[in-house]
Amino acid sequence: MALVYFIPGTMCDERVWSKLWPHLATDNQLIHLSLINSGSLQDVVANLLKQIHNHSEGCSFSLVGFSLGGYLAAAVSLHFTSQLERLMLIANTPIALPEEEYQQRQRILKSIGSEGYNGLSSARILSFLDISFHGDNALIEMIKAMEKNFKLSDLKHHLDELSKREDLCDLLAQQNIPTWLCYGVSDQLVDRKKMQRMQKSSNSIILKQILHCGHFLPLEQPEQLALQIRQWLKMSKELADKKVIVGLIDPKSPSNVGAVMRAAGCYSADAVYYSGLRYDRAARFNTDTKQMTDKIPLQHVEDFSQFKTAKRQLICVDLIEGAIPLPEFEHPEHAIYIFGPEDSSVDQSLVDIADAVVYVPTQGCMNLAASVNVLLYDRMAKSKVQIVGDELIRRSRDINNNVKVKC
Q: Name the phi and psi angles at 80, rounded to 5.
A: -125, 155
- Please check the confidence at residue 213 and state whether its pLDDT lies above 90: yes
DSSP assignment of 203-215 equals SSEEEEEESS--S
What pLDDT is attached to residue 278?
86
This prediction has a pTM of 0.69
The strand ranges marked E within 212-334 are: 244-248, 271-274, 298-300, 313-317, 324-325
Q: 217: pLDDT confidence band, cut at 50, 70 and 90?
A: very high
What pLDDT is attached to residue 357?
98
Q: Is 37 in contact with 96 (CB distance < 8 Å)?
A: no
Which DSSP symbol is given to 270? -
From CA 121, how far away is CA 147, in angstroms rounded? 11
* Cα angle for residues 115, 116, 119 (degrees, 5° grid): 125
Q: 388: pLDDT confidence band, cut at 50, 70 and 90?
A: low
Which tens digits make up the pLDDT trace of 325-381?
999 999 999 999 999 998 999 999 999 999 999 999 999 889 999 999 999 999 999
DSSP assignment of 18-85 equals TTTGGGTGGGEEEEEPPPPSSS-HHHHHHHHHHHHHHHHTT--EEEEEETHHHHHHHHHHTT-SSSEE
Q: Name the phi and psi angles at 3, rounded to 5.
A: -95, 120
What pLDDT is attached to residue 179?
92
- Residue percentage of the chain with pLDDT more than 70: 92
Q: Which CATH number fits domain 242-395: 3.40.1280.10, 1.10.3720.10, 1.10.340.70, 3.90.650.10?
A: 3.40.1280.10
265-281: average pLDDT:
88
What pLDDT is attached to residue 72?
98
The mean pLDDT value of the chain amounts to 89
Q: Is 67 in contact with 215 (CB distance < 8 Å)?
A: yes
What pLDDT is attached to residue 285?
56
167-172: average pLDDT:
94
Residue count (the chain):
407
Which tens digits make up the pLDDT trace of 20-54?
999 997 778 999 999 999 999 999 999 999 999 99
SS3 224: helix
Amino acid at 225: L
From CA 233, how far away is CA 244, in angstroms rounded? 21
Which tens digits make up the pLDDT trace of 103-116?
888 888 888 877 77
Cα within 13 Å of Cα(284), Cβ side: 1
Q: 199: pLDDT confidence band, cut at 50, 70 and 90?
A: confident
Lowest mean pLDDT across 118-132, 346-360, 386-400:
386-400
H or E element that contains 16: none
- Please check the confidence at residue 97 and state whether its pLDDT lies above 80: yes
Domain with CATH 3.40.1280.10 in the chain: 242-395
Q: What is the CA radius of gyration of the chain?
A: 25
What pLDDT is attached to residue 202?
82
Neighbours of 361 (CB within 10 A): 10
Lowest mean pLDDT across 283-292, 295-304, 366-375:
283-292
What pLDDT is attached to residue 63?
98
Provide the angle, in degrees to the nearest 10, between the axes of the packed helices 99-115 and 152-159: 150
- Please check the confidence at residue 277 and state whether its pLDDT lies above 60: yes
What pLDDT is attached to residue 151?
87
- Please check the confidence at residue 399 and state whether its pLDDT lies above 90: no
Indicate the CATH number for domain 2-97+162-238. Answer: 3.40.50.1820
What pLDDT is attached to residue 287?
54
154-178: average pLDDT:
90
SS3 7: strand
Which tens digits make up the pLDDT trace of 60-79?
999 999 999 999 999 999 99
- Please check the confidence at residue 395 and state whether its pLDDT lies above 90: no
DSSP assignment of 78-145 equals TT-SSSEEEEEEES--SSSPPHHHHHHHHHHHHHHHHH------HHHHHHHS-GGGTT-HHHHHHHHH
225-241: average pLDDT:
78
243-256: average pLDDT:
92
Domain with CATH 3.40.50.1820 in the chain: 2-97+162-238
